[in-house]
A and B are shown apart, each in its own frame.
Chain A
Amino acid sequence: MRIPALPGVVAILGALCVVPVAARAETYTIETPVSVKGLPPEVIDGAVTCAVFTEVDGHSSNLGYGGFGSAQFTVKGGAFLGRLRVPVQLDVASASLLRSYRCTLYFIRNVGGERKSATAAGLSEPGSPDYREEFRRARGSRFAGEVHGSL
């Protein structure tokens, strides 16, 4: 049997190494300022989830879904003020294909020792199935439970 020349062996080994690296999902980082206060004591954590889309209006239509990511923060004294970096794992070949994003604020409550999460909008919007009186918003305060934009 003929033994392949050294350059050929190196090329084959190189190709074997490159395939898993190329298959690894790219991460797209979205930074989101967060300002929450006056939360009820049952809120222990918060989270921001972001989804990205290859369609310009994907943030509203959900068309062209391109990836999802989440980051948490700790709520102390009913408040948190800071900037979260949300690592979004892309399901598309390249970040250059992305056209829009949507990020949503969640609150995580400790209910009888169990963590229960719901959107800030759902918890604080009267009429929502998730609405809870203790999450009513301060009169005249600004509220943004979801932000979206172009990429």
Chain B
Amino acid sequence: MTPSTRLLDPLGPALAAALAAATLAAAAFAAAAATQSYSYRVELAETAKKPQVRAGNVNWECRGKYCIASARGGNVSVRGCRELAGQVGRVVSYRSEIKRLEGDQLDECNAVLADKGSPPKSAPGKATGLAATATRPGSPPRVTTEELTFTGVHDWSPAR
């Protein structure tokens, strides 16, 4: 007798049959959910950069600050969100009829936009200290903005 049948045996054949039926029902439900089609809706921070994109193996239709799609399963993934954000812009809400990405997952999704800015990234060593510059040769700036500034509370001065 295998360990599993030994476990079921004391329960009696009726209960074993019920368990088997329940297992089959759960599998059938999961299969149905996997094949059922769900609507997806994404809200963007800004107007979508493209009206039609393919991301996460899904075709998206974007209009204004919203993108919609239809796909099987209803699952949402950071990977799919990153693919979409990389093409249409920052995502503020990513959900299907049954699931949604949470705040941390959206951060991870939108990090792709910062990653896309890699080429202008300052060279290692240039951005240290207080007088580094991240400018690079190329097209001259058309406009110079006011300063973006932040002062936190962490003290990085060497320990005395």
How many inter-chain contacts with C-beta < 8 Å in the A-B complex?
Answer: 217
Residue of chain B at shortest CB distance from A115:
B111
Which of B113, B126, B134 is within 8 Å of A49, CB to CB?
B113
Max chain A C-beta neighbours (<10 A), residue from B89, B120, B140 = B120
Whether a CB of chain A sits under 8 angstroms from the CB of B141 is yes
Question: Contacts A33-B147, A39-B152, A65-B47; is A106 near B114 (CB within 8 Å)?
Answer: yes
Chain B residues 85-136 with CB under 8 Å of chain A are: 89-90, 103-104, 107-108, 110-111, 113-118, 120-122, 124, 126-136
The residue on B at minimum CB distance from A104 is B148
B133 touches A82 (CB 8 A): yes
B121 touching A73 by the CB < 8 A rule? yes
Contact B154 A134 (CB under 8 A): yes
Could you pull out 11 A-B pairs where Cβ atoms are within 8 angstroms? A29-B138, A34-B148, A37-B150, A38-B150, A70-B117, A81-B132, A82-B122, A82-B132, A85-B120, A130-B103, A147-B147
- Chain B residues near A73: list those with CB within 8 A: 121-122, 127, 134
B150 touches A30 (CB 8 A): no
* Contact of A80 with B132 in the complex, beta carbons under 8 Å: yes
Q: In the bound complex, what is the Cα–Cα distance between A78 and B156 (angstroms)?
A: 7
Contacts of A134 in B (CB 8 A): 152, 154
Within 8 A of B (CB), among A34-93: 34-41, 45, 47-51, 62, 65, 68-87, 91
Bin the interface of chain B by size: 35 or more
For the complex, is B142 an interface residue (Cβ under 8 Å from A)?
Answer: yes
Contact status B128-A76, CB under 8 Å: yes
Report the Cα distance A138→B117, complex, angstroms: 29
Report the minimal beta-carbon distance from A61 to chain B, rounded to whole angstroms. Answer: 11
| Also in contact, A62 and B47, with CB within 8 A (given A82-B132, A144-B146) | yes
For the complex with contacts A115-B111, A137-B153, 7 further pairs of A-B residues with Cβ separation under 8 Å are A34-B148, A35-B147, A81-B129, A81-B131, A115-B114, A117-B107, A142-B149
With A31-B135, A32-B148, A82-B132 already in contact, the answer to whether A38 and B143 are too (CB < 8 A) is: no
Residues of B within 8 A of A136 (CB): 152-153
Residues of chain B contacted by A49 (CB below 8 angstroms): 90, 113-114, 117
Chain A residues positioned under 8 Å from B124 (CB to CB): 74
Contacts of B118 in A (CB 8 A): 72
**In the complex the two chains form, is B141's CB within 8 Å of A30's CB?**
yes
